[in-house]
Structure 1
Amino acid sequence: MQPPHDPALQRQYDNPALVPEHPAIIAGWAADAAAYRRRGGELDIAYGPSPRERYDLFGPQEAPIAVFIHGGYWQKLDKSFFSHCAAGLNAHGVAVAVLGFDLCPAVSIRDILRQVQAACTALPRRPALAFGHSAGGHLAAMLLASGHVPAALPISGVFELAPLRHTTIGTALQLSEAAARALSPRFLPPPARGWLHAVVGSAESPEFRRQTRDFAAAWGGTAEELPGLNHFSVLAPFSDPDSPLITRMLGAIAA
C-alpha cells in the first residue's frame, strides 16, 4: 500500500517543479541528440523482445565501451533524448552504448534492472563503465553492485528509494517498503572491487545532494558537487570532451 504523501519530500524530489525552465533544457537535449545521431552510430540494436529493449552504439567497434542510462524516474523519456551524452567519451576513442528500456508502471524497477543487465551482457564487450542520470544513476550503481561493470559514475542519482514512496513520483513505481530497501544501492553491500564517483549539481535539492554524499561514503567512493548546475543542466559536461569529468572517466576506464 502506498503511504501518505509528504509535502516536504514532494518538494525535495519534484525536479520539474524545482527547475521551471526544464522544458527548454529537455528540448535542447532532443535537438542535440538528433544532431549527434546524424553524425553516425548503430541505432536500435535489439537486446530483448520488447520494442524498447534497444541500444544505440556510438564510437569505434574495437574501442572500450561505456554505457549511458537515461533518467525520468523510471517512467519517462527514452534513449533518443541522450545520444549527445556519448560525445565526450567518443572524442577520446571510447564507444558509448545509450540504453533503452521499458518504463514503470508497465514494468517494475526490478524488471528495468534486469533489462539493463541484459543489455550489458549483449554488448560486443563487457562495458568498462556505466554512467547514468537520475534514475539512470540508480541503475548505474546497481550495475556496479551486480558486477556487470567495474566502474560507475552516477549523475544526480537516487540511491535510497523509500522517500519516493511518500511522493506522487512513487505512485507508478508501486514499491513496497521491502522492495524499496532491496533496490536501494545505499543499503547494499559495496562491491569488493569497483570504482565509484558520484556527482550532483550544487543547485539541486538538499535531498539529492545528501543522497549522493551518503551513498558515496557508504560505498567508499568519492562524491562531487558541480557548481551552479541543477538536476537538468548537470548533464552538460558529458558532451564536452574537455570536461574534467570526462578525464576522470577515462582514467577509470584505463585502470
Structure 2
Amino acid sequence: MSLEAQYNNRALVPDHPAVMARWRAAAEAARAATPPLQIAYGPGPREGMDLFEAAPDAPVAVFLHGGYWQALDKDWFSGLAPALRAHGVSLAVPSYDLCPDVRLGRILRQVRSAVDAVRARTGTRPVVFGHSAGGHMAACMLSEGRAAAAVAISGVFDLAPLIPTSLNQALKLDAAEAAALSPIHWPVPNGSTPGGTVLDCVVGGDESAEFLRQSRMMADLWGAKGVETRYQALPGLNHFTVLDPLFDADSDLVKRIVDLTRSPR
C-alpha cells in the first residue's frame, strides 16, 4: 500500500462521517449540560480553549485535537469531558490555527502557549493527550518539559513520510522542516529535566501499517533512551473509533489518563 493510502485515514475508513457525527453530538450535549469556561491563550480568533472544570482545584488534562493540522477545532471534542469529570479531572481543549493559513511551526507555538496557560492557572504541568496530529504535539510538549505525562493516540512522530502525500499540499513540508518538527528527532525527557517522563503510544489495532509502525517506533525509540513508554494497539479500532474509549468513564484509557493526572511527577 502506498504512503498516500496509508496516511489517508478518511479514505481508509469510509464510515468516518458517522463516527465524526457522534463526536459532534456528544460535544453539543456536553456543552449544553456543563458550559465550559472559555479562556484566551493568545490574541487570535482560534487562540482559545474550553475548560470543563471538575472542581476548582481538580487536576487538568489537556486534549490536543487531530485533523492533520488542517481541520477541526475544539468544539468537536467537548464530549470527552464527562468521562474525565466523572473521575474528578478537568479537561482543557484548545483550538489552534490551521494549515495552509499558517505553518506547522506556528501551530506548535500556539499549543505551547495553551499548555503553558493551563500550567499558569493550576501551578502544575498538565497531562497532555492528543489524537493523530494531536498525538504528535502531545509528544512534543513532553519533550519540552511542558507536560507531566503524555498519551499520544494514533500519533505521527516522523513527518517525513507525509511529504510525498496529498496531505502535504496544505502542510508544505520539505525534508528539513519535517525533520525539525518530528519528535523522533527531539531530545527525550529525562529525570534531569523538568516535566514528566511517561509517554503512552496508543493506536487502533485496525489502523494502517504505517500508523502502527509510527507508534511502535516512537515507544521503542524513547523507551530505549530511558523514557517510561507504553505501546498499545487497541483491537478492532480504526483511526476514528480509537477515540471511543475516551467517551467511557470506565474504560482503561480514561482510567490511565486519570491515574497519570494523580501521579506525582
TM bin, normalised by shorter chain, reads over 0.9
Q: Give the equivalent residue in structure 2 for 1:182.
A: 180
Question: In 2, Cα distance between the equivalents of 1:116 and 1:44?
Answer: 16
Deviates more, 1:12-21 or 1:126-135: 126-135
Equivalence map 1:56-71=2 (5 Å):
56-59=50-53, 60-71=55-66
SS at match of 1:172: helix
Question: In 2, Cα distance between the equivalents of 1:218 and 1:185?
Answer: 11
SS at match of 2:66: coil
Question: In 2, Cα distance between the equivalents of 1:252 and 1:14?
Answer: 31
Which aligned segments of 4 or more residues in structure 1 are displaced greater than 4 angstroms?
none
2:36 paired residue among 23, 42, 52: 42
Identity fraction in percent: 52
Contact 1:89 1:96 (C-alpha < 8 Å) held by counterparts: yes
The answer for unaligned runs of 5 or more in structure 2 is 192-196, 224-228
Q: Does 1:161 align with 2:159?
A: yes
1:219 paired residue among 199, 218, 222: 222
Q: Does 1:209 align with 2:212?
A: yes
Question: In 2, Cα distance between the equivalents of 1:41 and 1:148?
Answer: 27
Contact 1:67 1:127 (C-alpha < 8 Å) held by counterparts: no
Question: In 2, Cα distance between the equivalents of 1:210 and 1:169?
Answer: 19
1:135 paired residue among 116, 125, 133: 133
Residues 99-119 of structure 1: CA distance to partner in whole angstroms, max 9, x if unpaired? 111001111111111101101
SS at match of 1:68: strand
Instruction: Give the TM-score, by structure 1 length.
Output: 0.95
The alpha carbon displacement at 1:43 in A equals: 4.0
Q: Give the equivalent residue in structure 1 for 2:149.
A: 151
Equivalence map 1:12-91=2 (5 Å):
12-59=6-53, 60-91=55-86
Amino acid at match of 1:202: G
Amino acid at match of 1:254: R
Amino acid at match of 1:152: A
Question: In 1, Cα distance between the equivalents of 2:138 and 2:201?
Answer: 10
Residues 192-219 of structure 1: CA distance to partner in whole angstroms, max 9, x if unpaired? 1411111000000000000000001111
Amino acid at match of 1:32: A
Contact 1:10 1:168 (C-alpha < 8 Å) held by counterparts: yes
Instruction: Give the TM-score, by structure 2 length.
Output: 0.91
Question: In 1, Cα distance between the equivalents of 2:258 and 2:24?
Answer: 26
The alpha carbon displacement at 1:224 in A equals: 0.1
Computed over aligned residues only, the root mean square deviation of the Cα atoms, in angstroms, reads: 1.2
Contact 2:59 2:262 (C-alpha < 8 Å) held by counterparts: no
Aligned residues: 249
